[in-house]
Amino acid sequence: MPKRYTAIVKMKNKLEGSAHCIKYRFDNLLEFTKFLDVKWDDWKWFNVYSNKGGQLESFTKFRRPKSKFV
């Protein structure tokens, strides 16, 4: 079964100054945020996209999702 959401996550800036971003696919926003806190504690923000490509929402380390679905 395909994942419900795709996220582009900004981690930190690389040494030359460009952004270090990673793409993930997931189903649950709350679990994904917990995963980021454990695996990538220096994450800054992430944008959430539907599988059809449209941006649904943006979150930051301090403005987090309040439910598991958008």
What is residue 61's predicted lDDT score, i.e. its pLDDT?
95
What is residue 57's predicted lDDT score, i.e. its pLDDT?
98
Q: How many Å apart are CA 47 and CA 68, to the nearest integer?
A: 15
pLDDT in tens, 9-68: 999 888 898 999 999 999 999 999 999 999 999 999 999 999 888 999 999 999 999 999
Q: Where are the alpha helices (H) located in 1-70, listed in sequence order?
A: 29-39
What is residue 36's predicted lDDT score, i.e. its pLDDT?
98
CB distance 35 to 27 below 8 Å = no
